[in-house]
Structure formats: structure tokens, C-alpha cells
Amino acid sequence: MDIDKLFKVPKLPMGGNKRKLPDNPTPEILKKLKMDTDSPSVPVPASNGQGSQSAKETRSTRATVEDEDDATHEREIAPGGDADYFAEEDDEGRFFGGGLTSEQKEILNIFEKSEGEHMEGEAHDLSITQLRRSLQNFERAVNKNQDQRSKHPDDPSKFIDSEADLDSAIKALLSLSQSPSLAYPELVRSGTLTMIVGLLTHENVDIVIDVIELLYELTDEDAGVENEAEGHEEDEEALKVLAEALVSNSALELLVDNLLRLNEQEEADKQGVFHVLGIFENMIGLDPSLGSDLVSKTKVLDWLLTRIQSKAHDENRGYSAELLSILLQSSQSNKIQLGNSNGIEIILKVLSQFRRRDPVDPDESEFMENLFDTLCSALSEAPVKKLFLEAEGPDLMVLMIKDKRESRSRSIKVLDYAMSGYLGIAICEAFIEAPGLKPLFMTFMNKSSKRSKADAEPASEDVGHILGIISSLLTNLPSESASRIRVLAKFVEGEYEKVDKLLEIRDNARKRLKVADAELQRETEEIHDVTDDSTLDTEDLFYIRRLENGLFTLQTVDYILAWLMMEDDGIRGHACRMLSRGSQSMQDIVQTLRIYHEHVDIDDDNESQPAVSQKDILQGLIVALDTASLI
């Protein structure tokens, strides 16, 4: 089991945090609602007894007031003209109002009534008869529009009505997302889905945007969520059927073509772009392998790289960075293609703006983090590491560490990924020459006179990546080289203060692991009480849990200490003295390395095989420390 790689993969963005654009009511909707409220209400007798008020002056009231003069006076002085300010009373006689006029309250009631009717309608399951009727109406609208457009291509007035009917027919299909298991197979079987995809080439961009919104809703992971209690598995299968049909009908290619067609200066087009990106995320969530097809068969990667370079930050720019990160998570071919598309240099150029300033808001922070995660994913490939070095990526990361802004933590993480493995040797050398040792160890030791106390302690994630960088330096830098001697000298200076820091981290990791081991022991005993079988899967699961609860940190620290103690007698003597104070010795480090050695695969490096594997290095360190302990 390749445990090292398990802890070298950036986290996927959570599906539950999918981006959503707010649905603001349009002026047309508000105008329509206002017109609907113009119907006359029940007249109220005038206070002077001379006839009823006009329709404009009448209003309905929810309270019966004995003294009409007082009631009229109260209505006149009600704050904000709130019709129910004096009508809403609690048990103690206190009055409350919503701050709304009677007209505003009527509009609100219309909203509530409409919502209630909508939810009541959704409560009824969609029947196959209703479904087929909706699909037939849609097909008739498509055919009519195509027929009139072909007959009168130069006279829009001849087909404008059919275009409006088509718009309504598309929107009517939005409700199908509530019954995926019933609707989606029928969509595919009837050929209606082919017609829907075909509309992505429609001459009217508004129709295209309608289709994009429809596909976004149909592929949404929340489709059919109301039926999750029963039939949820059928809904998931239906979603996969729909996704396969979309791919076979070239929907991916047509959607990317529309990214180039839509003008984001227009609000409707901007939302259309957002929904296209959402469709891609939805489909990759259903089938991760579609990410490779999307990049290889379309120009989406070039579009995304262009989009993230926009000067002004907005929702679509942030979504583009997120989709870029998703596309590179598990696809080797996409990582290679990013390098071939000059993506590494582009990403470094965009990230360089965060050297001198922090992101202005959480959205831009997320944008920055997604670009850093994209780099981390891509740096698992040898060609990308070479491009990263050629684009002076190590130098930029070191500068960001020095500037101590929000990008510092992410820069440390990128360097950890870049310097790991046999092919990280050149990047390790570049890091030393940058020079990167001083800012790295200042962060490691929390030495920063200009930082506040709240920012002084580095995050545990930062410490983990710093340990990874030190481990890579000791693994990759040649023996007796000037670069390696500079690394060793850092641990000697300051009366071995950095060795003490390592031992402090080691002690904390041991305490965490001790608690985890006690818990795992209890679980093991409970398992043995139920069955005598001890499966290999359970052992692997327990080992992973130990890694997560301190063992991984302990292994990394002891690996570093083993190198230092083997190469410098002064460090070895100081470390042994400090270990003895905690009833520990060099043999405890050896024991940790043995466990590490047992779980390292022989072919753990998928890059060009180094002359000495990680397993061989661990074995050599174990022998060296065993020998030193006998002296």
C-alpha cells in the first residue's frame, strides 16, 4: 500500500459546497406582481359616513375597531404606513408591525401563495403520461420554430411567436429534475435529449441560455433530492444514463463552443457561463473519467487558463479556477496537457499578484487556494516539475514565504510537492540557491519580530509541509555537497535549537499516537469478541488511522533525525541527551523507521526509478543507527 502518496493528494472540493448564483427577481416579475395586486379590495365605510372610498383609497384590514375615528387616526400615524401595525398584538397587549404597506403585504401574500401552490404541485409524483405530454409539447415547439425560421430566415416577426413558445416549452422541462428515475430514461429513449442538445447551436442566444440552464438543473447532484428516502439509488443511475447520453451527443463540445460565444458583459450570458461550468462539475462528479475526455476533446483548458487571467475578479473567474483544480485531481493526461498549454507559467503569473497583497475577500482567497492546489496536483508529473523549475517557480515561492502574507502557507505546500521524489533534486538545489533556507527555518521556529502573537505560531499543516521539505532536502541533496552542508549547519546553529524543535514536535506526535493506540486497542478487543477473524483490510484501516493521529508526523521527524544523527556527531550526542530526558533513546527512532520500512512499497516511485529507493534508504538508516547505538 502506497501510504506516502495517500498523504500527497490535495483534497477535492466538497460537492456539498457547489457554487450557486443568487436568483434575484427581475423587474418584469416585480411589475407583473404589482399589476396582479391592482384588483379592487372590499370597500371600507368612510369615517364621515358619506359613501365608500374609491378603489385607490380602499384597503383591507385584519382588525375590527369599534371607534372608526380612532382607527382612521391610527392608520394615519402608523410607522411606514404599515397596514397591520396596530392589528398584530401579543398576549401582553404590545403591538408589532412588519414595516410593510398594505400593497407590499399583498405582494408578499401572492409570493407565499405561489410558493405554496408550487410545493403542493411538486408533492404529486410525475406520471409517465404527463411526462410524455410535456416532451411532445417540447418537440412540437422545436419543430414549429425550425419550420418558421427556415421559411422566413430574414423576417424575425414571422417566427418570434414560435420562439416565445419554445422558450416556455424549455422552461416547462425544468420540473423533470424532480423525478430523475422516471424522466431521464424517457428523455434518452424518446430522442428528446438529442433535440435539447441540438438547441445549443440555436441562432438565438437566449434559447441557448435556456437550454444551458435546463441541462444544469438536470445534471445537478441535488436532482431528485426530495425522494432521497426511497429510490435514491435509482436517481443516481438515471443521472449516469443522462450523462452518458450527453457525452454521446457531443454536448461537451457544444457547451465549450458556447463559452466562446457568450458575452459576459451581459448579465444573462454571464449566468449562462456560470451554468456551463456547473454542468462540467456536475458531470465530472458523476463520472471522474469525463474530466480527461473534456480536456482532450475540447478547448476548455485554454478557455479556463484565459479566464483566470482576467484583471477583475468575479464569480466566474473563481469558478474557473475551481474547475481547473477539479480537472487535474485524478487525471495524469490533464496534468501533462496543462504543462503543454503553458499552464504552469500562466498560473505562476496570476499567483504572483498575491506576493505583494492579500486577497481582498473570501472569494478571492478561495480563487488563490484553488490555483495553488492545481499546482500541487500537476507537480506529481516529471515534465511539470521541469516546467515549474524553468518558470522560476521555486524563486517565486521563496519570495512569498519571505513576504509572510496569506500566500505563505500555500507556497510552502507547493514546495513540498515540488521537491519530493527523485526528480525533485534540481528543485531542491534551486531552493537552496533562492535562498530558501533562512525564511523556511524562520517560519519553522516562529521567529518573526514583525508578526503579531496570534500569527506567530505556524499552522500544523505548515509544520507538516516544512518537515516534508526538510525530508526531501536530506534525501535528494548529494553527500558532501555544499548545499547539503548548508542544511546540516542550520541544525547546528543556535545551540541545536532546531533539533530541539524537532524533538518537541516528536513528543507531541507520540502523545497523540498513544491516545489513538489505546482507542484502537479497545476496538480490536471488541472485534475479537465478535469474531476470531482478523482481516487484512482491518489492519490497513487501523494503520491509516494511526498515520492520521500522529504516526505520519513521527515517521517524518524520526527520518530527519536519523539522517542528522548519522551525519553529525554533535547532533547525535545532543539528541540522545534530550531523548533520555523523556525515557526515549535512539532505539525508539529505529523502531519507528522499521514500521515505516514495512509499509513502503518497493515500486513506490512512479517516476524514473532512482539509483537508491526509499526502502533502501530506510534500511541503510536503520543499520547505521543500530551500529551507532553499540558504540
Cell numbers at 348, concatenated: 505562476
Three-point CA angle 47, 48, 54, nearest 5°:
70
Q: What is the pLDDT of residues 72-124, one digit of tens each?
A: 444 444 544 555 545 544 444 444 455 566 666 666 666 555 554 444 444 34
Residues in the chain with pLDDT < 50?
3, 5-7, 9-16, 30, 33-34, 37, 39-77, 79-80, 85, 88-96, 116-124, 227-229, 449-457, 604-607
The CA distance from 428 to 436, in Å, is: 10
The CA distance from 545 to 529, in Å, is: 21
pLDDT for residue 58: 35
Residue labelled with grid coordinates 538508516: 621
pLDDT for residue 124: 43
**Strand, helix or coil for residue 542:** helix
The CA distance from 45 to 81, in Å, is: 19
pLDDT for residue 235: 85
| Numbers of helices and strands, H then E, in the chain | 31, 2
Query: Which residues, 6+ apart, have CB-to-CB distance to 296 below 8 Å?
Result: 333, 337
Burial label for 81, CB within 10 Å (0-12, 13-18, 19+), is middle
- CB distance 554 to 592 below 8 Å: yes
Q: What is the pLDDT of residues 546-579, one digit of tens each?
A: 999 999 999 999 999 999 999 999 999 999 999 9
Phi-psi region of 191 (alpha: psi -120 to 50; beta: other; left: phi over 0): left
DSSP conformation letters of 42-82: ---B-TTSSSBPPTTT----SS--S-HHHHHHHHHHSGGG-
Three-point CA angle 170, 226, 182, nearest 5°:
55
pLDDT for residue 540: 84
User: Among 234, 230, 252, 253, which Cα is nearest to 243's?
Assistant: 252
Distances (CA, A) of 593 to 389, 432, 467, 563, 604: 32, 27, 16, 12, 17
Peptide bond into 435 cis (omega under 30): yes
- CB distance 221 to 15 below 8 Å: yes
In eight-state DSSP terms, residue 451 is S
pLDDT for residue 117: 47
The CA distance from 32 to 23, in Å, is: 17
